[in-house]
Structures are given as C-alpha cells and as structure tokens.
Structure 1
C-alpha cells in the first residue's frame, strides 16, 4: 500500500445465509482509494454497492454473514478488528451518510442534542463545547442561522437540509474518509446539485476522500475522479471518469451510458435500455454474469472473465471481447 493510498480493498467477499440458500452479495471486489480522491461506485439496485460500503465499516457483521478478503485502511487491516476496536475507526476515521436521513435521525430529539451526543461519545469535551462545535458544523455545511436551527427537530428541516445535517454529523470527528450511500436519491434535482457541490467542496477544502455509492451516472459526472461499475456482486469496469465516459470497455457500462441523456453528444432518437433483469445472487451465472443480458455474447462468455487491463494501463474491465472489437461495437 503506497503512502498516497488511504484505502485498499482486496478480494472482498460477503455471503449471507438465507432461507433460500447462500446469497453471494459481494464476490471478489478489489479497489483502491487515494487520499483526497472521490471514487464513485455505480450500478443497478442489487449489484452489491451498498453491501460493499457497509462491510467496510462492519455494518454487515452477523451470525448469518460470511466475510472474507482484506480491507486495509491507512495501513491498518480492519476486517478482523473486534467490534470495540472497529468503533474507534467508525466515525473518527471513516464516516458514512445514508440515503434517507430520517432513518438515521431520532425524530424526538433536537438536531443539536444529537450532534452533541455523538461528539461527546468520542471526545472529552463539555456539553457547551460540543454545542459550539455543533453550531459550527451546521454552518460549515451551509445551514442558515445555525445558532437557531441547532434547537430544531428533524421534521422542521427539508429533505436537503436533513441530508446536510447528516453530513455535518459525519464530519464532526474530522474523518479521513466519507462513504456516501445514495445521498441524493430522495431529493429533487436542484437540491441534489447542492448536496453534490457540498461534497465536492468538502473534498477540495478538507482533502476528504469520498466513496460515493449511486445508480445515477449524472451524479458521477458531477464529482467523481474515478468510477467503479458493479454488476451482480462484481466490479466489471474500473477507470478514471474520462475513461468510463469516453472510452468505456464493458457492454454493461455501454448500456448504462446509453440509457442516460447526454448534452455532450448529438441527441439520439431513443435512449437505449438494457434488456432483461439482473441475475439472482442465490444462483448467479457461472460464466460472465452479464452474458444473459449482453447483446454481444459469444462462446467464450461461458467462462468467468477476469478483471484486468487490456491496454497496459489502469483501466480495468471484465469482458472477453477483444479491444478492437469493443471499439468497433460501441
């Protein structure tokens, strides 16, 4: 792990024992994240994005869960940490913001009290000092009149403001890494843009590394430095933002890009769509997992393709099609 790397995930595997059988939610996921970098993890619902993110901070642990692989954070292996040790990492070094802030905020406690409680659980400060920090945190994430709003309840905030509160709480202990799991999904377009600008500003001003989980490639284009595309529990493509948008290598990525409106290209007659449905992770395809939905499937696809670079760089994809054929098909 180089000094510039903050997070290195290697061959992460997460399996859940269910009444219907063993579900492989995450199957051999590997990626790195540099300090101050924004990595977007993209894919359809059920692709394993959120399970991957939650596993990084131990939220998928349980009697019916099997976790294998390595998560190295700042030179420290955290997969095997005991719960008490992991709690010192969670919040202080890695923070997470979820899709719906109302499921994370207690509706019967004032916003300020919730931030104060969180700060004092990790820091030896007085209640008055913690409240001052709470006000400054709300000010930092763009909530107007924080001295007054700190006394309000969650229902007195709009959806976008509640998400700002959650980001403020995540920043309270000055973590090095923020995991944002679909932070803009429930918000209207204007508020989405505001939250994305806030995340980008925090990344720039504080050097905060971000793992952004989303199914929206429009969100990715706004803020990401690099993109990992997930499908059926696996990363199928990983590259810089420009590589993913202007030189995509995997048919699934082509489908995702073809289904979104783009202002940098001529208007198409119709947006394309990916046929079929994602496979069940209780019984995934034995070869290429995208093969049942891929319009370019051929004989080799009965074998599972590796995630590798085909052009000598760091742009990785999991597809048997030759590079020349991919560029001809796109």
Structure 2
C-alpha cells in the first residue's frame, strides 16, 4: 500500500546553554493506512520528540527542525502554524503518555471533548456534547450520558486513557499517534486498551504510530517496528522479523531484558552495560559501540541504515550478517555475549 505519511531525514535539535541537543538525527520511515508502526527504545532515544515533531509540537525559538514529514504529499515541516493547526487533531491526532496531566482537572471531560470538536467543526454546544457521549460509548465507558459530566479525577487510570482516545478520535483522523498508552496500567486494563486500539484499527483502517517500551505490547498489535537509539533508527523491519531475526546488538539487548518462562530459577537476565550517550556529545562512530560487546575496529565509523541481501529489513551495524546469528543465540535465548575479537 502507498504510504499516507512519509518521514524523511527528520532532524530536531534544541539549543541550550551547554550546546545543541540532537534529539532526533536523521529519522526516516513511512506509514500506510491500516498499519500499526511501533517505535521502541530506551528513554531519551528520541521516540516522543519524533512523534511530537510530526504535528508541530516541538516548534520553539530554540528548536531547529529539518527534513520532511509528508502527509498525503503535503510537507508538514514547512507548513505554517495556522495550516498545521487544521491538520492537527483533524487528520493526525495524538494520545499523550499521561492522561492525568493531559486532561484539564478543572473541566468536565465532556466539555474538553466538545471543545476539541468545536475548534474544528461548526456545530452547537449541544451537538458537540452529544458527539462526546457517542465517543465515550464507542471506547467502552459505561453510562456515558452521566460520565460525560464527570471530572478527570473521577475516572480510573484506564478510563482516563479511554477518554484521551475518545478525544483523539473525535474528528475521525486517519493517523493516530499513541505515546505509551498503557503506561502505569495494570495488565487487565492494558489488555482492554490494546484490544480497543486493535478494533479501531480494523474498523476505521486507522494508521497508528505506537510508542512504547513494552515489547509484549509490540508483539500484540504491531505490524512493523522501528528501533531507536540515541536519536536515530538502528533497525526497521516487520514485527516477525524483529522478534525472530533481530539484526542489531541493541535490539538483542532489549529482547535479553525479557524474562523467559523456561529460564532456570534465580538466573540473571542479560543486560546492556553502561548508559546511553549524551545527546550533547554523541560518539563519532557507531553510537551503540561504547556499550556493545561486539564492537570492533570498523565501529569507529558511523554505519549506514541499510538492507541486507536486498531485503526490507534495515539495520545499522557493521557486523557480518552471517556472524550475527551465532552471536545473538545464548542457550536458545536472544541476548548479549562476550565481545568479538577485532
């Protein structure tokens, strides 16, 4: 399918007293209608900044943004604020990470949804309120005629997240960005939220960008996965390829942090040593090399993001593909091993 959203060489830097923070550095991907794209990586890898930049939320006097974000062929990066405001919410909506801080605590949830609708539609207050009731019902909130008059603190965490999803879907966008939509929710509510997103994706052909740390969530709903580290993409592939044939050592480290059910009792999980580099002073070569047990001489040069053997699986690593399958398997698990001699 042809993509409806095309991100090419997106770069976002923030000027600070200590220097320029290169939060996003050359990120590229595309998104088709009905596709669920998961973006994963450690905190500070640039996931949320990438998502917010797509809809112009990182524009600030100290921000420098370059590259292109094409939505149906229209470049959103070069679009003026007024034109972008018409697309934001109308065509591309976002569910933010913390619904308690995203919702205004002094306004009823129905009024907040209605405000979103009336900002883009020429409808009366009563019509907007009726639409808010329909939206709350569509996301599974019981007794929406009464709950529409409640305040955010009167909802549970899962219900507040449903309110945020209802607000994001109020104008029937074609792209939904969900930033950690299941954070701090128990597993039962998490499963309900994921089922809701999956149903909406199927019913509306909704394209979804899902930002998460939870690889279980990725396996449940994603079609394709982009792995980010230190501001750029280190791996991009279909979800099955990421889970069964990961190519980048950083991705191996992420999978190594998962506790398998058949692991020996009291066995220690593999871990990635060190910490992500400062975005103020990034390594000159491979950005993961200081933490990678497989780093060798070639890693002093930055590797390109490229496909191996002409496939669609992209990764940014100098290791030989034939060697990778040997290095990543440890007792039948995906994890990190001892360094390779240079």
- Counterparts in 2 of 1:8-157, with a 5 A limit? 8-157=6-155
SS at the partner of 1:143?
Answer: coil
1:262 Cα shift? 3.9
In 2, Cα distance between equivalents of 1:256 and 1:118? 38
1:246 Cα shift? 0.2
SS at the partner of 1:169?
Answer: helix
SS at the partner of 2:198?
Answer: helix
- Counterparts in 2 of 1:1-330, with a 5 A limit? 4-262=2-260, 266-267=262-263, 269-330=267-328
SS at the partner of 2:9?
Answer: strand
Q: Are 1:39 and 1:225, in contact at CA under 8 Å, matched by a contact in 2?
A: yes
Q: TM-score, normalised by structure 2?
A: 0.94
Aligned residue pairs total 326
1:4 Cα shift? 2.2
In 2, Cα distance between equivalents of 1:4 and 1:28? 22
Assess, with a 3 A threshold, how the Cα gap between structure 1 residues 97 and 294 changes in structure 2: closer, same or farther.
same
| Unmatched 5+ stretches in structure 2 | 329-342
RMSD of equivalent CA atoms: 1.0
- Structure 1 window deviating more from structure 2 (169-178 vs 179-188): it is 179-188
Q: TM-score, normalised by structure 1?
A: 0.97
CA deviation map 1:119-148 (0-9, x unaligned) = 111101111111111011000000011111
Q: Are 1:43 and 1:49, in contact at CA under 8 Å, matched by a contact in 2?
A: yes
1:276 Cα shift? 0.5
In 2, Cα distance between equivalents of 1:193 and 1:262? 20
| Unmatched 5+ stretches in structure 1 | none
In 2, Cα distance between equivalents of 1:12 and 1:143? 38
In 1, Cα distance between equivalents of 2:254 and 2:303? 20
1:267 Cα shift? 2.5
In 2, Cα distance between equivalents of 1:191 and 1:20? 42
- Structure 1 window deviating more from structure 2 (287-296 vs 118-127): it is 118-127
SS at the partner of 1:187?
Answer: coil
- Structure 1 window deviating more from structure 2 (158-167 vs 104-113): it is 104-113
SS at the partner of 1:162?
Answer: helix
Q: Are 1:99 and 1:186, in contact at CA under 8 Å, matched by a contact in 2?
A: no
In 1, Cα distance between equivalents of 2:259 and 2:311? 29
SS at the partner of 2:235?
Answer: strand
1:74 Cα shift? 1.4
CA deviation map 1:269-289 (0-9, x unaligned) = 332111100000000110000
In 1, Cα distance between equivalents of 2:271 and 2:192? 29
1:189 Cα shift? 1.8
In 2, Cα distance between equivalents of 1:62 and 1:303? 33
